[in-house]
Amino acid sequence: MKAIKRIAAQFKLRMLSRNCRAEPISLPGDLAAVRTVLVCLPPGQRELTMIKMLLPDLSRIFANAEIYIMASPGSSVYDIFPRKGYRIMTPSSDHINWCGLASKKYIKMLKENHYDLILDLNLAPHNLTQSILLEFPGAIRIGKGNSIGAPYYNLEIKTKFIRDEKNIYKSIISTIDKLINSAPADVDRTTQ
């Protein structure tokens, strides 16, 4: 049954990806104008602990934005992540369809927040996150380079680290920081 669900999920993702046309982005200006951010967390407890240490950096980088955190279903993020300053959007079982993709109900709920940027911190392909990325073609969708690529991401960040997850996460976040800080001073960082 697990193999059937995986095959069905891959088929649905291929069908969704055919219809996904990413809008062009302008860097670093579009990054400087971000107002809402969705951070997609990886499923592992160890990875979640590593990312928790980088939350202050994300808060500093996106100081003028509202940050939402989405963990995998069943993750115990409420014990790890502080509730202050972040909105946790972990899907429940009725937000996931039978093959593990985001349901229409959950996508509709996410679209109410009008995300400008989606940061995928999954280092391996994750069907739930991929289904969400495809539903936001107008957002800046950032992920690790040499992972799932287009049409899921319109900005891939490659890193020199191969197996050191902690440094991979740090490298991705520091690259975003450098891109935002390279924006000209005349970019209005408060526009919506």
Per residue in 155-183, pLDDT tens? 899 888 878 888 999 999 999 999 998 86
Distance, in Å, from the CA atom of 89 to the CA atom of 176, rounded to the nearest integer, reads 22
**Tokens 């049409």, located at residue:** 151
pLDDT in tens, 145-159: 877 888 889 889 988
d(CA 87, CA 70): 9
User: What is the distance between the alpha carbons of residues 83 and 144, in angstroms, rounded to a whole number?
Assistant: 26
Share of the chain above pLDDT 70, in %: 89
pLDDT at 189 over 80: no
Q: Which domains, and CATH codes, for the chain?
A: 2-20+28-181 (3.40.50.2000)
Residue 57 has pLDDT above 80, yes or no: yes
Give dist(CA 21, CA 89) in Å, integer.
25
Please tell me the pTM assigned to this model. 0.87
CB–CB of 153/129 below 8 Å? no
Give residue 74's pLDDT: 72
| Long-range own/partner contacts, residues 60-66 (CB < 8 A, 24 or more apart) | 60/177, 61/173, 61/176, 61/177, 61/180, 62/34, 62/37, 62/117, 64/35, 64/189, 64/190, 65/34, 65/35, 65/36, 65/37, 65/116, 65/117, 66/35, 66/36, 66/37, 66/113
User: Strand order of the sheet with strand 140-144?
Assistant: 86-88, 66-70, 36-40, 117-120, 140-144, 155-157
Which of 5-14, 33-42, 43-52 is predicted most confidently? 33-42
Handedness of CA 47, 49, 131, 141 (dihedral sign): negative
pLDDT at site 84: 64
Higher pLDDT, 76 or 8: 8
Averaged pLDDT of the chain: 85
